[in-house]
Amino acid sequence: MYSNKQLAGAADEAKAHIGYIETDPNGRYGLFEEVLGKGAMKTVYKAIDEVLGVEVAWNQVRLNELMRSPDDLQRLYSEVHLLSTLKHDSIIRFYTSWIDVDQKTFNFITEMFTSGTLREYRKKYRRVDIRAIKSWARQILQGLVYLHSRDPPVIHRDLKCDNIFVNGHLGQVKIGDLGLAAILRGSKSAHSVIGTPEFMAPELYEEDYNELVDVYSFGMCVLEMFTCEYPYSECANPAQIYKKVTSGKLPGAFYSIQDLEAQRFIGRCLVNASKRLSAKELLLDPFLASDEVKLLSKTKLNQKPFLNETELEKLQLSDDPPRTDMTITGKLNPEDDTIFLKVQIADKDGPGRNIYFPFDILNDTPLDVAREMVKELEITDWEPFEIAKMIDEEISVLVPHWKKREWPHPEAYHTFNYEEDEDGYHHPLYSFPSCSSSQASLPGLVTYDHDWLKALKALRTQEHIPA
């Protein structure tokens, strides 16, 4: 038999083997060392849900002296049960929770957001269009409408950009840390007022409030979204913030907002509770009206071609560098009906070249010769069919009875294999630098290679190569 201590030791070894610091009581969730976020009383770690194979957030709260009585524990479980029933697209999904008695921690698993909090995200991306801010505001308000419409209403009490999480690749924001403020608020060791002073409504200090405190905090969140500045950053301590809040003075950042409609909208969130609108009413404010219809109509009015002619010309010039300059001229040798072609190539990155080669009008085809040229001369910016067409036109001038071909569209040649068989026939190409081309006479070249021409004809006759 194994003792409990031995079993616990074996379990710890198994966790370490797969990289977990610890697992939940059922062994479904594994905790990693990577910290996603850390606050005064809570640390968030990356974890894995082994059943679904997805990454999740493992939230761990140090209880310390928070749980002093059975009533405190009962209240905690009630809050946790409430969280597990909340399901909305603008509320972070809550999966499960438990208390680790030995470690004195309250643990709960939620969905994970890789882009961090809205405050971090906004500081990272300062150039954000007002339409993005409106979209975030709408999503947050939709979450508040859901919470406040519950019976009884669910009040966040500590809404701020640090408690709103972002899926950056989707433009999605969700309210998080729900219920945590309420859990801490019931503890005898906690302060009587729970929240973040910069975001707290005046009535929260009097502990006589309702769900409209979340609307006030929402207004401060929107203020931070616009200014990238913490509300009341001009104050040196919480006492100064308290004095300003309770006397109805707005943060200095409020007056720095350039957009008057945005300023008016935020102001409606920060008025006295008796005049403050509910989340549901604010959601109907014209400021938050979707810009999609307006944007679509504007796009249609200003619609223009994807690229105009000038832009197309510039694009073509930038994408297609100048081609190698190439000309083909020919001379007929009446003795054996052989044509000598002269190809003048002006290379882009070097001196020009003159290349001479024979063309047998009985046995050669322009395309075969062109393919050989492309291969042997390493021509990369001319298609074989283009060279063949030039050869064809030159021969038709020299030989009146030559029948010109109809050359298909370039795309018809894109699947051809220009590689020749190693044992196949290759045209001899004679290359001379352009600077010395005047010294090389065509008759001399013909005389020099006259024996080769005879041998070539004899070879072709033996191989029965068709004309």
Residue 320 located in a structural domain = no
346 in the same domain as 280 = no
Task: Tell me the longest C-alpha to C-alpha distance in the chain.
Answer: 119
Residue 271 located in a structural domain = yes
Residues in Cβ contact with 427 at an 8 Å cutoff, skipping those fewer than 6 apart: 357, 358, 364, 369, 372, 373, 376
441 in the same domain as 395 = yes
70 in the same domain as 128 = no
Q: Report phi then psi at 36, rounded to 5.
A: -90, -30
229 in the same domain as 351 = no
Q: Give the residue numbers spanning the domain of 380.
A: 325-463
134 in the same domain as 14 = no
Q: Say which CATH number the domain at 182 has.
A: 1.10.510.10
161 in the same domain as 50 = no
Boundary-marking domain end, from 66, 90, 112: 112
71 in the same domain as 48 = yes
Instruction: Locate the DSSP E strands across 133-232.
Output: 164-167, 172-175
For residue 265, the model assigns a pLDDT of 97
Checking DSSP bridges between strand 22-23 and strand 164-167, what pairing results, if any? Answer: unpaired
377 in the same domain as 267 = no
For residue 67, the model assigns a pLDDT of 62
Boundary-marking domain end, from 112, 141, 165: 112
Tokens coding 153: 């209403």
237 in the same domain as 146 = yes
Q: Please check whether residue 288 is in contact with residue 141, taking contact to mean a CB–CB distance below 8 angstroms.
A: yes
Q: Please check whether residue 432 is in contact with residue 343, taking contact to mean a CB–CB distance below 8 angstroms.
A: no
Relative orientation angle of helices 366-376 and 384-398, to the nearest 10 degrees: 130
List of the chain residues with pLDDT < 70: 1-18, 40, 65-69, 72-73, 75, 179-194, 290-306, 315-322, 337, 347-351, 406-467
For residue 318, the model assigns a pLDDT of 53
Q: What percent of the chain has pLDDT over 90?
A: 38
129 in the same domain as 243 = yes
Q: Which residues are identified as catalytic?
A: 177
Residue 4 located in a structural domain = yes
Relative orientation angle of helices 130-148 and 212-227, to the nearest 10 degrees: 170
Residue 15 located in a structural domain = yes
Q: Say which CATH number the domain at 23 has.
A: 3.30.200.20
The string of pLDDT tens digits covering residues 359-405 is: 887 788 888 888 888 887 777 778 888 888 888 888 888 887 787 77
For residue 84, the model assigns a pLDDT of 85
> Cα dist. 253→197, 199, 230, 402 in Å?
16, 13, 8, 87
Residue 364 located in a structural domain = yes
> Cα dist. 184→7, 132, 165, 178, 401 in Å?
35, 33, 21, 11, 102
Checking DSSP bridges between strand 353-360 and strand 54-62, what pairing results, if any? Answer: unpaired
Q: Say which CATH number the domain at 350 has.
A: 3.10.20.90
367 in the same domain as 223 = no
Q: Please check whether residue 120 is in contact with residue 254, taking contact to mean a CB–CB distance below 8 angstroms.
A: no
336 in the same domain as 263 = no
How many Å apart are CA 101 and CA 59, to the nearest integer?
Answer: 16
Boundary-marking domain end, from 290, 311, 334: 290
How many domains is the chain built from?
Answer: 3
For residue 174, the model assigns a pLDDT of 96
Q: Please check whether residue 86 is in contact with residue 154, taking contact to mean a CB–CB distance below 8 angstroms.
A: yes
Q: Please check whether residue 211 is in contact with residue 147, taking contact to mean a CB–CB distance below 8 angstroms.
A: yes
